[in-house]
Amino acid sequence: MKKALLAACIAAALPMPVFADEVPAPTAGSDQTPPKKKTGASEPATRLNEVVVTAVPLGQAADQLVTPVSVLNGAALDDARSGTIGQTVAGVPGVQTTSFGQGVGRPVIRGLDASRVAVLADGLGSADVSNVSQDHAVAVEPFLADQVEILKGPSTLLYGSGAIGGVVNIVDGRIPQVAPANGLSGRTQLQYDSVSGGGTGMFRVDAGNDGFALHADGLKRHDGDYDIPGRTLPNSYVRSDSGALGGSLLGDWGYLGLSVSRYLDTYGNPAEPGDPAEGVPPVYIDLAQTRYDLKGALKAPFAGIDKAEFSFGHTDYQHTEFEGDEPGTVFTNKANEGRLVLTHAPLGGWLGAFGVQAFHRDFAAVGEESFVPPTSTKGIGLFVTEQKEFGPLKVELGARGDRQSSTPEDGPKRDFHPYSLSAGLAWRFDEAWHLTLNLDRAQRAPAEEELFAHGPHAASATFEIGDANLRKETANQAELGLHYHSELVDAKVAAYYNRYDDFIYLAGTGEIEDDFPVRQWSQANAKFRGGEAEATFHVARNASGHYDLRVWGDTVRATLAGGGNLPRIPAGRFGTELSWHNDFWRASLGATHYFRQDKAAEFETPTAGFTLVSARLAWSFYNTDRSSWEAFVDGSNLANQTARLSTSLIKDQAPLPGRSFSIGVRGLF
């Protein structure tokens, strides 16, 4: 059944006749783009070829890239926003999320997560410790994002070995690059969620002129324990506060800006709810991060260079794992990261950029369960990327070399020299069709927890054991994609194969230590293969509104070369959604089926299939040239199904929320 439905989705992604009158889809500009006529608080998402991807050099539109990329913005981002970045992007084909209750969710791209997927804030790493353990939250706030960009497949070329599985870049605009139209712009949102009895409120304001611009934003979230079918999940609450101030000097020469941001998060661990009758207190995490960013760009700084872009971030992160009122382990991470990218003038028809990236982080875990020793990690990488068009063919080439070292307290230093190469080809053999081929060879240095972990971790209920002798891992990936765009259909389908040499994974051993199951960081060759497809049919464009039908699906299979399944691999999915909008209303009804994941690793339980039904309705009740307001109601898991993600370490204790309704209002001015 699973294969049949996936095949149906892939078949649906190929073009077929649809009789409709085409009307150009409205576009939504962020606060950093030229003003457009407002027709609602957030307009339907722009078509792919209208979205500039900031996570890659040259400022290219998404459809100009050979690298597989997906972008969320406009109404599509508004509908997807969630309390975690993982859940926000989980509706993108090929992308899912981990889950540790409603407070924690990290992106999983084509079966890869943690230290293989880089989460960026405006191009620099989030600098938290979410990759160390699945119970650690990502210190970014999706509700404050202008745009979310997902680079699928190896992205080590631009962002180092921590991006061997892909990149999720949150574009927040905290350092303005242009002045807002009419000198002032912003947005605000308030909403209530029935499943947790909580709510979220946020604001953003940008002001300035041609010479100077200021930015301010803030968010507060207060969610109680959430409901699951039949009961409320104890110790699953979330309390979040976030805010930032930024400013930039602007001119014909470019821009130079600074920002400071603060992120506070307190959330319960539903895997450790405690037992009042036995005097066992619940476990919760209290997180705080302060971040300082410097960013700028110079236009034509000297001969042969069209643009120089630079950014630097300093982050001071800490979180404490409490057992009741008693503080347990304290995790800290002090990090510095810098990037310089130079875009050169055309050379023989070749366009490209080269640059350098460097980082230094000091990580420590202090307390009874400091299962990873204090470690200092440093790295520097040089990269270059080039592209050229040969008529209907476009070629992209890239290379990167890194030097990275990890030095644990009272232990020997490990040095690694990862290298990466990439080649891409796009063949636009017709106005509507183009074919892409991507070949990547990428390497990753082991992370601190993989090398040096040894001890119990109550928050994730595991006893982790690392291996200081781990070697760097190497990914060899090939991906073939087919894209079709017309007035009636937008579709794409991709298939990929990734062979890993010395793949590093955390696997159960069946042993018990300090009352916790033992999980060992191990290394072996592995294979990932999968596919994804998506098609949007523009069913009708008439006086009653615009009607679109979207169908999509994805699947990934990951095995060890010697036999056996890798742990926590996402289940295959098939989804469909019918949407409609006019000048004042927009609505949608959709369903996503998660297939049973029975290809479980040893000591891992299978996951049953389930279907999540969702619906949305929004009304633009006030609309002028300067502002617009929208009231909305969103429903999720309307069938109230028990939904357990195979990517979750605590899926058996903490399923996804049950039936939920979110009611709110958002404004744009």
Per-residue pLDDT tens digits for 27-70: 333 333 333 333 333 343 334 446 899 999 888 888 888 999 99
**Average pLDDT, rounded, for the chain:** 91
Tell me which amino acid residue 236 is. Answer: S
How many folded domains does the chain comprise?
A: 1
How large is the average pLDDT for residues 164-181?
Answer: 96
pLDDT over 50 (residue 661):
yes
Terminal-to-terminal C-alpha distance of the chain: 48
- For 549-552, which contacts have Cβ atoms below 8 Å and span 24 or more sequence positions? 549/576, 549/577, 549/578, 549/579, 550/575, 550/576, 550/577, 550/578, 550/579, 550/590, 551/9, 551/12, 551/13, 551/575, 551/576, 552/9, 552/13, 552/93, 552/576
pLDDT value at position 41?
37
pLDDT over 60 (residue 499):
yes
pLDDT over 60 (residue 101):
yes
pLDDT value at position 64?
84
How large is the average pLDDT for residues 253-268?
Answer: 98
pLDDT value at position 17?
33
pLDDT value at position 9?
41
Least confident of 195-204, 343-352, 455-464: 455-464
Domain of residue 454, residue span = 2-668
C-alpha atoms less than 13 angstroms from C-alpha of 476 in its C-beta half-sphere: 7
Per-residue pLDDT tens digits for 1-32: 444 444 444 343 333 333 233 333 333 333 33
How large is the average pLDDT for residues 481-485?
Answer: 96
pLDDT over 60 (residue 641):
yes
- Nearest 5°: the CA angle 474, 475, 479 is 165
Tell me which amino acid residue 564 is. Answer: G
Q: Domain containing 367 — which CATH number? A: 2.40.170.20
pLDDT value at position 50?
66
Per-residue pLDDT tens digits for 146-159: 999 999 988 888 99
Per-residue pLDDT tens digits for 522-560: 999 999 999 999 999 999 999 999 999 999 999 999 999
pLDDT over 90 (residue 434):
yes
Per-residue pLDDT tens digits for 240-249: 999 999 999 9
SS3 state at 53? coil
pTM of the shown model: 0.91
Per-residue pLDDT tens digits for 323-338: 898 898 899 999 999 9
How large is the average pLDDT for residues 272-299?
Answer: 95
pLDDT value at position 459?
62
